[in-house]
Structure 1
């Protein structure tokens, strides 16, 4: 294996803030995310069993394809003037933004469900930045404000939290958009007995001082469903919308949305890179072994090698990328290795770093991670900046 290094700047302009939630507030946010999954699952069932996996071309326009996925934009005719979004009380609220068409992605994924969820999973600021370097999405300045549900050994892909991020960079005449959302991910079983992975990003309005807002606040409600079929294949169904707010033409906003949702749609390749990261690390740390190391340090001909950029670490909010030449045997090992085992290993590794994590832990969902108590401050502010 050979490698060269490069860096990707992910420096954040945000002050690192913490969000204080009561148990009731946290549970309400988790329930809201769960309801978005149920709403999307109802659309998915209709797509499968009523529409027979045929998208209505009168309501949806085919606007792009990637591998086995098709991206659709809701046509302007039947679309309501404004989209609506579910609030914490379960009611639908109108979002006053015209340039917010719904997007839908359907198709088939190449990896296993575990690979998709491992590549998708991110429960720290650094892991989100790492994932962005894999999938090249439009997310910048990502910061988790609060934990709500955390992974366990039995459920290593479960996480729910509140986060803030910016979407893209400022342009001369268009201000950068930011978003505050509850993000939820995990695996469950459908009423048909199928294993289902889900990922939700749903905007929430919190008691944040207006003076803290440096960007235009966008709103979004997006849900990705990854369903394992009886033949072992994984089907993707994604539906949602993103409203940039303000005055932004649809032709400028929609391509940014498509880039972001496609990045999260296909994450098995990110899982392979994450596994390779650990395999390379094991090889570097190994003194001597009686069995071959996970990564073969041998010369490889050009026809038997794969060149990949693998993020290896984040130093001062910069992702260090290694351009590695890997043999096809190592790639095969990475693809067939258990994603669950690697996810559990990451969880154990992060446990030792959690003492330096500034986020507030809300619910005690892990035996290994203890919740941090909310300070008893009268009339506490929702946000605290350090």
Structure 2
């Protein structure tokens, strides 16, 4: 596929020039179809694992290499003869990747939290959003930049996004070239043939001519897909399958741990969702309490008692940053909340809040917050600074989306 590239200056705090990849309508459609096909391929593996294999992983084909919470990571065992992974191309065919040190990885298990929280936590639609997520999930992604946007979120589908991006992977080593990727990344919600809600996240290498940039790296081949399914009992099941071929000469013991950290990070993103909700809650609290008197500091919000059954000493109390009520050390939760991104660095504030506000953050609708993010970005894009976008209600005023504007960028 022949893609055209050109530069445009993006005005921001850093005043840097960001390169963009311009796609025709047909090119954008083919890239989106490619990502959709990767999802369908992974769903076939998931259905076989769930209904044929009865959620039992064959130990002769897959080796258990790690655990995190309720998730298990498996590495494909090597056979008597070297095998190469295959990757789906833009024309729909499977192409062999000539790299021996590229074992497939698979993750299965149940996730803590709701499907909406998982999707809100992993959702990214800007360079700064990726940098912020990396701080919390440690996915080894660096120098990330969206080259083109193919599909954007809407109020009806706030977790939908598809685009082309490039990034470098892992930390640079003295005697090894930096690895990077040019990928189509797609995320969104779907429904299984059994009527269950399913979220997906795809990162799949594409062979495109990238714009020239200052980051020099050896391009890897990767195909990774995460499926998160909301089961009838309310639990969320994760099924992830894929591979990363580092190309060149890289020992597997150096490359595989980076891959495991990456896939586990994207596999568990509910905690990132809670942090994003807290950022909004702190923002709302700062506005709503400007005209109010702060509550007294004489009693902990958790009604805690000391060892003798009396009230705790208020000298050690702190204020919850959300509700501004007194909280003791036992009832407080300390969280790092992102403030902004300046010069590519995510600035965090360490905040103390009470367990009740933390519980409230977990219970609030992730969909409502995702829609607020979308409304806020649209208001800012038209420079309407005097209009409030801080309410939590879905009924608040919102910009009418321009349905005539294409989601892909053309020239």
1:288 to 288, 291, 300: 291
Deviates more, 1:285-294 or 1:269-278: 285-294
Bigger CA drift: 228-237 or 70-79? 70-79
Match of 1:93 among 88, 92, 95: 95
SS in 2 for 1:181: strand
Query: For 1:5-33, what per-residue CA distance to the aligned partner results, in whole angstroms no more than 9, with x for missing partners?
Result: xxxxxx99x96210110110000000000
Inter-partner Cα distance in structure 2 for 1:69 and 1:369: 43
1:367 aligns with 2:381: no
Distance 1:254 1:125 in 2: 25
316 and 186 in structure 1: CA distance in 2 versus 1, 3 angstrom threshold? same
Shift of 1:354: 4.3
Q: Hey, what does 1:39 align to over in structure 2?
A: 41
In the aligned structure 1, how far is the partner of 2:52 from the partner of 2:227?
Answer: 18
> Aligned pair 1:251/2:253, yes or no?
yes
Q: Give the alignment partner of residue 339 of structure 2, picking from 312, 329, 334.
A: 312
Q: Aligned pair in 2 of structure 1 residues 217, 245: CA closer, same or farther (>3 Å)? A: same
Which structure 1 residue ranges, 5 or more long, are not aligned? 1-10, 357-365, 376-386
**From 340, 355, 359, the counterpart of 1:328:** 355
Structure with the larger RCO, 1 or 2 (CA within 8 Å, 6+ apart): 1
Structure 2 portions without partners, runs of 5+? 1-12, 296-319, 384-400
Pairwise CA distance, 1:210: 8.2
Helix, strand or coil at the partner of 1:100:
coil
Per the alignment, do residues 322 and 132 of structure 1 end up closer, same or farther by CA in structure 2, a change over 3 Å counting? same
1:347 aligns with 2:377: no
Cα offset, 1:213, TM superposition: 6.7
Q: 1:66 to 1:192 in 2, by over 3 A?
A: same
Cα distance, 1:297 vs structure 2: 1.4
Q: Which residue, 174, 177, 180 being the options, matches 1:175?
A: 177
Judged with a 3 Å threshold, the aligned counterparts in structure 2 of structure 1 residues 37 and 373 are, in CA distance, closer, same or farther, namely closer
Instruction: Return 317-326 or 223-232, whichever deviates more.
Output: 317-326
Residues in 2 aligned to 1:369 and 1:322: alpha-carbon distance in whole angstroms? 40
| 1:348-373 CA distance string (max 9 Å, x none) | 111234479xxxxxxxxx53793486
- Larger Rg, first or second structure (1 or 2): 2
Q: 1:177 to 1:112 in 2, by over 3 A?
A: same
From the superposition, tell whether residues 61 and 15 of structure 1 become closer, same or farther in structure 2 (CA, over 3 Å): farther
Name the residue aligned to 1:25. 27
Paired residues for 1:1-386 under 5 Å: 16-77=18-79, 81-208=83-210, 214-286=216-288, 287-288=290-291, 295-354=322-381, 367=402, 370-371=405-406, 374-375=410-411
Q: In the alignment, what sits opposite 2:315?
A: none
- State whether residues 102 and 243 of structure 2, in contact with CA within 8 Å, keep that contact through their aligned partners in structure 1: yes
Counterpart Cα distance in 1 of 2:80 and 2:332: 50
Compared with structure 1, are the counterparts of its residues 275 and 327 closer, same or farther at alpha carbon in structure 2 (3 Å cutoff)? same
Aligned-pair CA distance for 1:46: 0.2
CA distance in 1, matches of 2:130, 2:60: 37
- 1:172-214 Cα offsets, whole Å, 9 max, x none, are 1112111000000000100011000000000000134789771
Q: Does the aligned pair in 2 maintain the 1:152–1:367 contact within 8 Å?
A: no
In the alignment, is the contact (CA less than 8 A) between 1:351 and 1:368 conserved in 2?
no
Counterparts of 2:277 and 2:80 in 1: how far apart (Å)? 45
1:363 matched to which residue of 2? none
- Offset of 1:374 from its aligned partner? 2.9
Aligned residue pair count? 356
What is the TM-score normalised by the length of structure 2? 0.82
Query: RMSD over aligned Cα, in angstroms?
Result: 2.5
C-alpha contact (below 8 Å) 1:133/1:311 kept by paired residues: no
